[in-house]
Structure 1
Amino acid sequence: MKLAADRLINDYSLRGWEFAHAYTAHLDEWIHAQCASLDMGDGIALVAVGGYGRREMAPYSDLDVALVHRDGVEVKEIAEQIWYPLWDAGLKVGHRVGRIDELIALSHTDLDTATALLDVRLLAGDESVAFDLALASHEAWHSDALHNATRVIERVQELQDETGEVAFTLGPDLKIGRGGLRDVHALRWAIATGVLEENAAIRSLQEPEETLLRARIALHRVTGRRNDRLMLDFQDDVAELMDYPDADALMAAIAAAGRSIAWVADAQWFWTVRSRSERRRRTDHELIDGEIVVDGSLLQLVEAADPIADPDLVFRVALAAATRRAFVDRTTLERLADERVRIPSPWTRQMQASFVELLLLGHSAIPIFEAFDQMGLMSRLIPEWEPTRSKPQRNSYHQYTVDRHLLEAAAEAANLVDRVERPDLLVVGALLHDIGKGYPGDHTEVGVDLIATIALRMGFNDKDSKTLQQMCEHHLLLPDVATRRDLEDMGTIQFVADTVEHEPLLMLLAALTEADSTATGPNAWNPARAELVYTLVDKTRHVIEGGDAAEVHTARFPTPEQLALMAERTFSVRIVDAGITVVQDDLPGAFSRVAGVLTLNGLDIVAAAAHTEDGMALSEFRVKNPEEVDVARLTHQLEEGFRGRLALEARVAERRGTYSKARKRLSAQPIDTAVTFDNETSISATVIEVSGLDDIGMLYRIAQSFNELGIAIQTARIQTIGDMVVDTFYVAHNGSKVLDEEHLREVERAILYATETK
C-alpha cells in the first residue's frame, strides 16, 4: 500500500482535484481489498465521510470513516479487523462506530459529526445501511435548516478568528483561514440545508478552490506531513512545485483566491441568514433618485437605470451602499461593470465628488471597493491599480496585500481629516501613496509619475495634482526621520522644514504617516512612535513659521535628575518607565558593555543615548519589555562587566548561537547589511545608519567596532521592521565629525565585519 501511495504522492503531474480523486481511488481500492476477506454480513457498512467522503484527499489528510451497523449487530471484532490494518499502514484515521440513530443523535450536538455525515460514501458492506445513514443525515440536517446554517457560520467564524485571512496572513491556513477551503465546504453544507441554492457566484469558486487545493497538496508534498499553514519557509518550494515563477507569484494567486472565496462567502451568508430574517420582518423599501432601491440590507438598481448612459451611477451606488452598510446585488454589480459603461476621462465633477465622499466614509467603504475589485471595476476606474491587486508584501511588518493596504490607509485617513485643510487630498493621497509598489523600480519614484496621470484623470487641477505627488514623494519622510534621527539636532529639523516648505503639506504628511502606519500592521504605530513623529511635526511647523526649533519644548536628555546622578560620581542603575539609566566612570567601551549586558538579559532595545561629562558617562537605553528586568541581576552583571570580570563577548555569542536558530523567519526577501554616512544633516555629529538582519547582540557588536576606532556614540536610535533592523548613530571622533574618507571606509569595514562574521 505504501509503495503505491508514495508513487502517487511523488507524481507531481497529478495536482488539485486530479490528485485528490486518484489518491482517494487508491485508498478505496486498498480498503476494499482489506475488507474483502471479512465476514461483514448484512447490517454493517464501512463508509467514508468528511473530506474522504468528498474525495478531497491531500497526501497526508486524515482518513475519515465510520463503521455503521443496525440494531442488534455485533461489530467489535469486525472493527478491530478494520482499524488495525489502517493504523499499521501509517494512516491517521478519524473513525466513528455506531448505529444510525446514535450517529444522528450525536450530529444534533456535534457539528463536526453533522457535517461529516453529509458526505457519506460506501466503502464496504451493506449498501442499504450506507443509504439509510446518508438519507437520515440529510433529513436531520434539513429539518432545522436555518439553525444548522447559523451553526456553520458561527463555527467557521470562530475558527477564522484564530487563523486569520488567507489573503492577508504571512503564513495562511489554506483550509481553515477566512477565504480558505472550509468556506467552500460551508457553502455546500448550507446548500444541503436547503436555505441556499447553488448559483453562479458559488460556481465561480471552482477556480479559486482548485488553486488552494493544489497549494495544500503541494504543501503536504514539500513538508512530508499534514500541514495546512503555508509558512514563509515553505513558499519557495511550493511555488516551484506548482510551476509559479517565484513565491511572490504563488502568494499573489493564493491571496486572489482567498479574497474571491471570502467575498462570495460573505454575500452568500448574507442571503442565507440576514436577508431571510429581514424578509420575515418585511422591511420597507427605500427609493433613491428614482434609480436605486434599498430593501433592508440589499441594494439594487431599478430596471430602468442605465449605467451606460450615466456612468456617475457607479459612485452613486457605492455611496448609497456604504452609507447604509448594504450589500450590492450581484446583478447590479454586473451592470455597473459592463464593458459598455465608459468611464469618462477626466472624470466628471460629480464623479470626483462622489469618489471623495466615498473615501471619507472610512472603513464602511472598503466592502464596496472590494466588490468593485472582484468585478474588475477598480481597474476600470484606476487602470494603474491592476498591478497592485492581491500583490503580497510577504513580511510580518505589512499585514495586507498592497491594494488592501491602500484601502485601509485611506480608511484610517478618513478618521484624521479634522487635522488638515484639504480632507479630499488626504484620503486620495492615502489611497495612492503606495500605488508604485505594483511596478518595477523604486515605488516612490514610480508612484509620483503614476499619480501625475491619475490625478488629472480624476479631475484634479495642476496644483492639487502636485500636492498629491508630493504626498507620495515624501510619505516616508516623517516616520524615517522621527525614528532614525536625533530630534534635538537642529540640523535635522531644518532639513525636514526645507524639504516640506509649507505647513499645509506638513500636516497632510503627518496625517498620512499615522494612517499609513496604522494600516500597515500592529508593529508600525504605537504611542512611542506617535510621540516621535508629532514632536518632529511640532518642531518643523515652528521652523516653517519662522521660529527656532530649540524653542519647541521636548523631553530633554540628559534630564536634570540624570545630571544629578552623574554629579554623585558613583555607579548607578535606575529604571524609570521603559528607560534604563546607567551611570559609571567614563571608561572606553562603556556604552557597548551596557548594550552587551542588556542583550544577555533578553531585552529588546528600541532607543539609546549617551552623554559624558567631567569623567563620568551616562547611558540611557529604552527597552520594549522593562517589566522583565531583574534589577539586582542586571546591576551585578554591569558591575562585573565594568571590572573586566564578565566574558561578555563569549556570553553574547553563546546566546546568539542558542536563540538565533529558534527565531522565525519574518520576511521573504534576503536582507543584506548596508552602511550609510551623513555629514550634512547634523551640525555637530556624523550620522551613521546601519541596516541589516535583526540579530541578537547586533548593537553590542557595532558599539564594540566603534570603540576600536575611537568613535564616541552620542545618540543611537533602533528601529525594527520585521526581520530588519535600522540602527542610527550620532557619533564623533575626538569631539568632531568624522570627515576623513579613509577613516569612514575603515568604520564601514569594521561595522560590516561586526555584523556579518561574528
Structure 2
Amino acid sequence: MTRTDDRKEADDTGPSGYAAARLHLLSEGVQSGPPRRTALAGLTDDWLTGLFTAAAPAAKGVSLVAVGGYGRGELSPRSDLDLLLLHDGADPAAVAALADRLWYPVWDLGISLDHSVRTPAEARKTAGEDLKVQLGLLDARHLAGDLGLTAGLRTAILADWRNQAPKRLPELQELCAERAERHGELRFLLEPDLKEARGGLRDATALRAVAASWLADAPREGLADARRRLLDARDALHLVTGRATDRLALQEQDQVAAEIGLLDADTLLRQVYEAARVISYAGDVTWREVGRVLRARAVRPRLRAMLGGGKPVAERSPLAEGVVEQDGEAVLARTARPERDPVLPLRAAAAAAQAALPLSPHAVRRMAATARPLPTPWPAEAREQLITLLGSGRPTVDVWEALEAEGLISRLLPDWERVRCRPQRNAVHLWTVDRHLIETAVRASALTRRVSRPDLLLVAALLHDIGKGWPGDHSVAGEIIAKDVAARLGFDRADVTVLATLVRHHLLLVETATRRDLDDPATVRAVADAVGSESTLELLHALTEADALATGPAAWSTWRASLVTDLVRRAAAVLAGEHPGTEPEPGAPTAEQERLAIEAHRTGGPVFALRAQAEPGPPEESAETGEPLGVELLIAVPDQPGVLPALAGVLALHRLTVRTGGLRTLRLPDDVDASGDGSVLLLDWRVAAEYGSLPQATRLRADLVRALDGSLDIASRLAERDAAYPRRRGRTAPPPRVTVAPAASRHATVMEVRAQDAPGLLFRIGTALEKAAVRVRSMHVSTLGANAVDAFYVTSGTGAPLPPEDATATARALEEALRA
C-alpha cells in the first residue's frame, strides 16, 4: 500500500481506518528511518485534518497546530501527539465543542495526547512563564483551520524568543545541565536514555532552539545525521518493546539492532555513542559561544565609551608558536600555516590543554582541512607535544574531544579508530574504551612525579587498552600495536620495548597481587622476570594505579593498593639484587670541548658555541620550514659559584627552553694550567626557542657575564615578566617532588627533581642548591612533555657525598623552594 493509499483508507473509514493504515505502515508499508517518520506524520496530519474539517467545515478564528516533536515531524511509533487548538476567543463554547471532537478520537485509539486550548495571547503568556512550552511552540506547524492565526502566533513566538534570548538561553543551558546530572552521559552508558541523557534528543532540540535565537549556532557537520541515528534507534525500540520508552535496556539491544539492520548490540551501541558524541561536542561549542556573545554584549557599551565609540579589538596573547589566546579560546595566530607546519595540530592542542583553554573549533577545522601528515617516524617536537597534551590533566579531555570531532586523532593515530566509541560491557567500567584511555592518561598525569620517565607512563596510559579493538587477548594484541605506534612516534628501540612490556603486562600487578600468594618466591620471581627492570616496574606500578582509577570506584581500593605496593616492593628487591645500579663515568672530552675549556681559562670568561640541530625527517621538511627545531649549546666557564643559576636564568630571560642538558667539571692539563688546580665547567645543553628565532651567541654571553658579576638581576627580571601574564585557572599540576637516590653514586649524592616544566625552573633549582652550599658535580636535565626530570650529583665543599641527614635537609629545602 502506498502512502496515498494509506491516506485514502484513513479518510474513508475514520479512526478505525487510521488505525489500520498506521499498523500497516509500521509493520511493512514504508522503509524504517526518516521515510517512515515522514509517512507517519503525514498520515496523522491527514487524519487530524479530516477530524477538524468534519467538526468545523468553515471555521474562522480557530486552527489546529502541531507542536514539539510532532511539529518537527519526528513521530516514533509510540510518540505522544503534541497539539494546540488555537482560537481568537470569539466563541469559547464552540471551541470547547470542537476540542471534544478532536481529542476523544485520539484517546479512543489509545494514543497519548499532550493538548492545550489557548488564544495567541494566552499561548505567548504561558510560553513566557514556562520555558518548555516556549520550546515546543518554536516548532509549531499548521495542520488545519485559520492559517493566518497560526502564522501570527509563530511570528510572535519567534520574535519573543529572539528578544528574550539573553535571559532564556542561560535558563535553557541550566536545564540541560540539570538533565545531564540526572541521566548521565549517553555516550558512556550501557543502558542509555536516548532522549534525556546528555547528548540525546533533547540536547539536539535545545541546539535548534539556540539557532532560532540568532545569538549563536551549533556546528552543523554531522549533527543532522547524529539526530537521525538516535531517532532510528528510538523507532526500533518502540516497535520491539511496544511501549513509549526511550531507555535502551540491555535485554532489548540485540532486537533493536536487528530492527535497524545492524550486526549486533555492540554495533548499535557504538553507533548511538558516536551520535551522542557529535551532539555533546556541538553543545559544548554552542554554549561556549552563547556565553561569549552574552559577555561581549554586557561589556560592549562600556568598552565603546572607553574607546571613544570605536570598535573594541579582541586581545590576543601568545601561547606557543602559531597559537594564541583570544576570547577565552586557543586559536591559530594570523601567521600560522598548517599546510607548512605538520606539528601545528599537536602544538595547538598541547598549548590549549596546558592553558586550560578550549581549542577553537574553527582552528581545528582549518587544521584538519589543510595540515600535512606527520612524517614517519615523528619529529621529536611532535612527540613532545603529544606527551605535553597527555600530561595536562583534566583539560586534556576537552581538547582531545575537539580533535576527535574533526577526525584528527584517527589521522594522527590510525589504530585509534578501532577503539573509538567502543562500548565495554562490564559494570565496573564507567567509560568507552577510547574515553577510558584518555581518562587513564589524566590519572597518570598526577603520578608523573613518581616515575623517572613520565613520557613513557603517559604514552603507555594512552595505549594500554588499544588491543581491545582486535580479537583475542587485548594485552597480547595491544603489545604488537604498541610496538608499531611507539616506533612511528619516534621512540628508540629501548623505549619501544619498555612501552610494549607495559601494554602487555598492564594487568599483571593487580591480578597477581589479588590472586596469588605473595609469600611464594615463585610468584615474585615471575613478576620480576616479566617486567625485567626496576625502571619498568616503577612505570608499571604507576600505570596500574592510573588504569584502575580510570576504570571506576570499584576497581581500586586501599586494600588493592596495599597489595600491589607490597608486590612491587618484593619484585623491586629481586630486581635490585640482579641489577645493582652504578654511576656512569663521564667519557673523555671531545676536541671541541677541550678547545672551549682552554679558551675559557685563557680569557677568564664564558665561551659559547651554538650548533643548529634539525630534527630527523624528510629533506623537504627542513627546506620548507627554513629553521632548525633546536640548537646544541656548548659553554665553557671557569669554575666558580653561581654558574648554574646564572646560565639557566639567562636562557629563561631569552625564552629558551632547555630540552636536555649536562654539566661536568673538566680539570685542565698541566701544560695549560701549571698550578694543577684549575678547572672549567663544561655545559652541553639542547635548547629550543619558545617563540620565533634563536638569539645570537654574543647576546647570551654578554648577559651571562653580567649575571655572574651581579649587574643583571635575573630574579627580578623573571618576576616582572611573570607578573605581566596572569596565572591561568583550570589545570592544577601535581606538586614538585625531590628525592635522594641512595647508593646511586659512590662519589656524590644524587638528587632527583621531578616538577612541572616552566620558564625559570632550572634557575630556581640552581639558586636553591647554591643557597644550600652544595656543589653540583654533574647534572642530567631532561624535559619530557610538560615534565622536568632532572638528576643532580652534588657534593659538599670538600668534594665528598653529603651525610644522610644533610642530603635529606637539602632535598627538603629544594622542594620547598620549588613549591613557593
Question: Displacement of 1:482 after TM fit?
Answer: 2.2
Tell me the secondary structure at the aligned position of residue 123 of structure 1. Answer: strand
Per-residue displacement from partner, 1:377-423 (whole Å, max 9, x unpaired)?
11221122221121222332222222111111111111111221211
Counterpart-to-counterpart distance in 2, 1:451 and 1:26: 56
Is contact 1:343–1:380 with CA below 8 Å preserved after alignment? no
Match status 1:22 vs 2:48: no
| Other-structure match for 1:6 | 23
Counterpart-to-counterpart distance in 1, 2:525 and 2:437: 30
Tell me the secondary structure at the aligned position of residue 523 of structure 1. Answer: helix
| Other-structure match for 1:648 | none
Q: Which amino acid aligns with 2:24?
A: R
Q: Which amino acid aligns with 2:99?
A: A
- Distance verdict in 2 for CA 1:13–1:449, change over 3 Å: farther
| Other-structure match for 1:228 | 246
Q: Which amino acid aligns with 1:35?
A: F
Counterpart-to-counterpart distance in 1, 2:101 and 2:221: 41
Is contact 2:68–2:136 with CA below 8 Å preserved after alignment? yes
Counterpart-to-counterpart distance in 2, 1:194 and 1:12: 40
Given candidates 559, 567, 571, the residue that maps to 1:528 is 559
Tell me the secondary structure at the aligned position of residue 82 of structure 2. Answer: strand
Counterpart-to-counterpart distance in 1, 2:403 and 2:334: 20
Q: Which amino acid aligns with 1:400?
A: W
Given candidates 80, 85, 95, the residue that maps to 1:67 is 85
Q: Which amino acid aligns with 2:173?
A: I
Given candidates 90, 94, 114, the residue that maps to 1:94 is 114
Is contact 2:207–2:217 with CA below 8 Å preserved after alignment? no
Counterpart-to-counterpart distance in 1, 2:29 and 2:179: 31
Per-residue displacement from partner, 1:215-261 (whole Å, max 9, x unpaired)?
11111111111111112111111111111122222222111111112
Tell me the secondary structure at the aligned position of residue 424 of structure 2. Answer: coil
Match status 1:194 vs 2:219: no
Q: How does 1:245-324 map to 2 (within 5 A)?
A: 245-278=263-296, 280-281=298-299, 284-288=315-319, 291-324=322-355
Is contact 1:292–1:301 with CA below 8 Å preserved after alignment? yes
Match status 1:451 vs 2:482: yes
Q: How does 1:171-250 map to 2 (within 5 A)?
A: 171-197=191-217, 201-250=219-268
| Other-structure match for 2:781 | none
Match status 1:120 vs 2:153: no
Tell me the secondary structure at the aligned position of residue 398 of structure 1. Answer: coil
Q: How does 1:665-676 map to 2 (within 5 A)?
A: none
Counterpart-to-counterpart distance in 2, 1:14 and 1:143: 41
Counterpart-to-counterpart distance in 1, 2:243 and 2:126: 30
Q: Which amino acid aligns with 1:159?
A: R
Q: Which amino acid aligns with 1:43?
A: G
Give the stretch that moved more between structures: 428-437 or 31-40. 31-40
| Other-structure match for 1:157 | 177
Greater C-alpha radius of gyration: 2
Counterpart-to-counterpart distance in 1, 2:551 and 2:235: 31
Question: Displacement of 1:13 after TM fit?
Answer: 4.9
Counterpart-to-counterpart distance in 1, 2:394 and 2:568: 27
- Distance verdict in 2 for CA 1:290–1:491, change over 3 Å: closer
| Other-structure match for 1:368 | 399
Uncovered stretches (5+) of structure 1, i.e. residues with no partner: 548-758
| Other-structure match for 2:55 | 38
Give the stretch that moved more between structures: 381-390 or 50-59. 381-390
Is contact 1:434–1:443 with CA below 8 Å preserved after alignment? yes
Q: How does 1:576-591 map to 2 (within 5 A)?
A: none
Given candidates 347, 352, 361, the residue that maps to 1:330 is 361
Is contact 2:186–2:199 with CA below 8 Å preserved after alignment? yes
| Other-structure match for 1:659 | none
Per-residue displacement from partner, 1:540-582 (whole Å, max 9, x unpaired)?
33444459xxxxxxxxxxxxxxxxxxxxxxxxxxxxxxxxxxx
Q: How does 1:414-425 map to 2 (within 5 A)?
A: 414-425=445-456
| Other-structure match for 1:582 | none
Q: Which amino acid aligns with 2:56?
A: D
| Other-structure match for 1:554 | none
Tell me the secondary structure at the aligned position of residue 129 of structure 1. Answer: helix
Q: Which amino acid aligns with 1:245?
A: L
- Distance verdict in 2 for CA 1:279–1:533, change over 3 Å: farther
Give me the CA root mean square deviation: 2.1
Counterpart-to-counterpart distance in 2, 1:488 and 1:80: 81
Tell me the secondary structure at the aligned position of residue 336 of structure 2. Answer: coil
Counterpart-to-counterpart distance in 1, 2:287 and 2:411: 28
Question: Displacement of 1:303 after TM fit?
Answer: 3.9
Counterpart-to-counterpart distance in 2, 1:309 and 1:186: 39
Is contact 1:426–1:512 with CA below 8 Å preserved after alignment? yes
Counterpart-to-counterpart distance in 1, 2:158 and 2:243: 33
Q: Which amino acid aligns with 1:154?
A: E
Q: How does 1:605-754 map to 2 (within 5 A)?
A: none
Per-residue displacement from partner, 1:120-148 (whole Å, max 9, x unpaired)?
12223322322222222112211211222
Counterpart-to-counterpart distance in 1, 2:549 and 2:319: 35
| Other-structure match for 1:413 | 444
Is contact 2:346–2:385 with CA below 8 Å preserved after alignment? yes
Uncovered stretches (5+) of structure 2, i.e. residues with no partner: 1-17, 300-311, 579-820
Counterpart-to-counterpart distance in 1, 2:560 and 2:347: 39
Q: How does 1:432-581 map to 2 (within 5 A)?
A: 432-546=463-577
- Distance verdict in 2 for CA 1:275–1:196, change over 3 Å: closer
Counterpart-to-counterpart distance in 1, 2:36 and 2:115: 23
Counterpart-to-counterpart distance in 2, 1:65 and 1:479: 58
Counterpart-to-counterpart distance in 2, 1:106 and 1:541: 71
Is contact 1:278–1:296 with CA below 8 Å preserved after alignment? no
Give the stretch that moved more between structures: 488-497 or 430-439. 488-497
Question: Displacement of 1:286 after TM fit?
Answer: 1.0
Q: Which amino acid aligns with 2:524?
A: I
Q: Which amino acid aligns with 1:428?
A: V
Counterpart-to-counterpart distance in 2, 1:15 and 1:280: 48
Counterpart-to-counterpart distance in 1, 2:359 and 2:125: 40
- Distance verdict in 2 for CA 1:401–1:289, change over 3 Å: closer
- Distance verdict in 2 for CA 1:161–1:11, change over 3 Å: farther
Q: Which amino acid aligns with 2:28?
A: D
Question: Displacement of 1:309 after TM fit?
Answer: 1.8
- Distance verdict in 2 for CA 1:278–1:448, change over 3 Å: farther
- Distance verdict in 2 for CA 1:499–1:342, change over 3 Å: closer
Question: Displacement of 1:431 after TM fit?
Answer: 0.4
Counterpart-to-counterpart distance in 1, 2:157 and 2:163: 10
Is contact 2:440–2:462 with CA below 8 Å preserved after alignment? yes
Counterpart-to-counterpart distance in 2, 1:96 and 1:357: 57
| Other-structure match for 1:426 | 457
Question: Displacement of 1:287 after TM fit?
Answer: 3.2
Per-residue displacement from partner, 1:663-720 (whole Å, max 9, x unpaired)?
xxxxxxxxxxxxxxxxxxxxxxxxxxxxxxxxxxxxxxxxxxxxxxxxxxxxxxxxxx
Is contact 1:209–1:257 with CA below 8 Å preserved after alignment? yes
Q: Which amino acid aligns with 1:25?
A: G
Is contact 2:62–2:87 with CA below 8 Å preserved after alignment? yes
Tell me the secondary structure at the aligned position of residue 46 of structure 1. Answer: strand
Question: Displacement of 1:275 after TM fit?
Answer: 4.7
Is contact 1:44–1:73 with CA below 8 Å preserved after alignment? no
- Distance verdict in 2 for CA 1:93–1:380, change over 3 Å: same
Q: Which amino acid aligns with 1:29?
A: D
Question: Displacement of 1:288 after TM fit?
Answer: 4.1
Is contact 2:479–2:504 with CA below 8 Å preserved after alignment? yes
Identity of aligned residues (%): 39
Given candidates 72, 88, 94, the residue that maps to 1:54 is 72
Counterpart-to-counterpart distance in 2, 1:386 and 1:317: 22
- Distance verdict in 2 for CA 1:331–1:130, change over 3 Å: same
Is contact 1:165–1:177 with CA below 8 Å preserved after alignment? yes
Counterpart-to-counterpart distance in 1, 2:187 and 2:490: 33
Tell me the secondary structure at the aligned position of residue 351 of structure 2. Answer: helix
Q: Which amino acid aligns with 2:25?
A: L
